[in-house]
Amino acid sequence: MDYSAASALMGTVWEQTRVAVMVPGLKMMVRVCLAMSVMLFVERVYMGIVILLVKFSGLCKPKKCYNWEPLQHEDDVDIDIELGNSTYPMVLVQIPMYNEIEVYKLSIGAACRLSWPSDRIIIQVLDDSTDPLIKEMVKTECKRWESEGINIKYEIRENRRGYKAGALKQGLKHTYVHLCDYVAIFDADFQPQPHFLLHTIPFLIHNPQLALIQARWTFVNADECLMTRMQEMSLDYHFKVEQEVGSSAYGFFGFNGTAGVWRLSALNEAGGWKDRTTVEDMDLAVRAGLKGWKFLYLGDLQVKNELPSTFKAYRYQQHRWSCGPANLFRKMAMEIIRNEKVTMWKKFYVIYSFFFVRKIIAHALTFLFYCVVLPATVLVPEVEVPKWGSVYIPSIITLLNAVGTPRSLHLLVFWVLFENVMSMHRTKATLIGLLEAGRANEWVVTEKLGDALKTKSGGKAPRKPRGTIVDRIHLLELGVGAYLFVCGCYDLAFGKNQYFIYLFVQSLAFFVAGVGYIGVFVSNS
């Protein structure tokens, strides 16, 4: 066989395939990505304009838009826990937990210190723990607070069906809950300030159209490592911009599952807790919104909690947070369209902005464009990406995302690289949710470290890896990193786009994540 002839034939076939298939296909993908970029850009600019109007006009301040009167005199700082007061409504406080050995004391203690008459509040600890020792420790902590006069209930169930949604639903079936008008929910790592109920309940009392009051999250371990700083930047944008815009402009936003207070009648009217997706909180919020109920976000009311500080825990959390909304969108899109109780404007906002752009387009664009399509154009020089699509729009979107955390502006480059890495997992999870594939209903409780970080290392997490190096290898990250590195080398040698600087740096970020050298590592000892 003539190898030179075979080689020439293969080269001809490759060239024809490249011209006939790859070039048109890549051009189409570039157009799709540019269209998604414009959609995300318009969404970000719109929200930025709304936030500026809210901040500088002051017209949408909660106490100006809604009735609010304090339940106690401003000078009366403390409520006598021995004295009941019938003017205070009955409030149920639910704390769902699952093997929360590091943080259970923090959450139970914070809930028991809430300023509210002792005979008008019920603390309900919903313990789904599977470890008998942890269950006994939580039960003992509840008994300790009960001995101090706190009306606290320790509740368990036979199985974990429905996970958190199942626990919350089961908790509302107890007879004493029928005495309550409102329910406050705090995850096991959340620590509300004593005045939390005094700031939220009056809004619900004086505004019968309100179903939910949501507080803002702040993070006790944001400075633990670079990964937690990156998370803080992303979540600050969500709370300072997305939730604020939804509350101010539409009276609707996604319930964050914790640090919020529900009107029980609204919760029940919406159909209660359902476990059909892994975002039971968002599911309930959408159903309540379609019933015509309004929500209020209080950005000035902050509740402390803990960010995932290990890469493994963060990946599981992001899978749930990305897969769940996509799966819920699949289940509820037609129901939202057919709904007759809310305006067309609100339906458009929920379907297009809340779900499609933020929960689907944002994830898909970040990975598909910046980690797949843009690098591929290096290998196919016939395909060009205009500067406005590759530089200007991404830069503006990045800056708009970063304004929520000005203290971390110097970390902006790291944040972009980290978000691009995580976009791969979010895109995969989004597809799983849309297709309702195998892991669509996977629920892995986010690992919390609580005070363990301080007690083990004097304030910083130990840098000892858990398990072997094999346990920390992530093949997907390594694969994408290799692809970006090859594209970078080709661009450096033959290309004209000069993308190689970005490609090399981004490939390094994938490699670092691929060997698990991100976040903190806590030893088993």
Q: Give me the DSSP letters along 436-486.
A: T-TTTT---PPP--TTHHHHHHTTS--BPPSS-GGGG--HHHHHHHHHHHH
Label residues 208-240 b or e (16+ Cβ within 10 Å = b): eebbbbbbbbbbbbbebbebbbbbbbbbbbbbb
Nearest to 69 by CA among 247, 263, 201: 201
Contact of 191 with 112, CB cutoff 8 Å = no
Calpha distance 385→505 (Å, rounded): 20
CA quadruple 456, 525, 108, 223: dihedral sign: positive
DSSP letter at 310 equals: B
Contact of 187 with 305, CB cutoff 8 Å = yes
Calpha distance 153→148 (Å, rounded): 13
DSSP three-state, residue 159: coil
Is 128 annotated as catalytic? yes
Q: At what angle do helices 393-402 and 412-435 cross, to 10 degrees?
A: 100
* Cα separations in angstroms, 38 against 41, 52, 335, 362: 5, 21, 28, 11
Element (H, E) at 279: none
Q: Give me the DSSP letters along 23-71.
A: HHHHHHHHHHHHHHHHHHHHHHHHHHHHHHHHHHH-TT-HHHHS----S
Catalytic hit among 127, 236, 281, 491: 281
Is 187 annotated as catalytic? no
Q: Give me the DSSP letters along 351-374.
A: IIIIIIIIIIIHHHHHHIIIIIIH
Reading the block at residue 298, the tokens are 């209080």
Calpha distance 347→343 (Å, rounded): 6
Phi then psi dihedrals of residue 162, to 5 deg: 85, 0
Q: How far is CA 110 from the centre of its chain?
A: 23
Q: How do strand 91-97 and strand 152-155 relate by DSSP bridges?
A: unpaired
Reading the block at residue 424, the tokens are 């791969």
Q: At what angle do helices 23-57 and 393-402 cross, to 10 degrees?
A: 40
Catalytic hit among 128, 236, 283, 491: 128
Calpha distance 400→393 (Å, rounded): 11
Reading the block at residue 476, the tokens are 């997907």
Any idea which residues carry the catalytic annotation? 128, 281
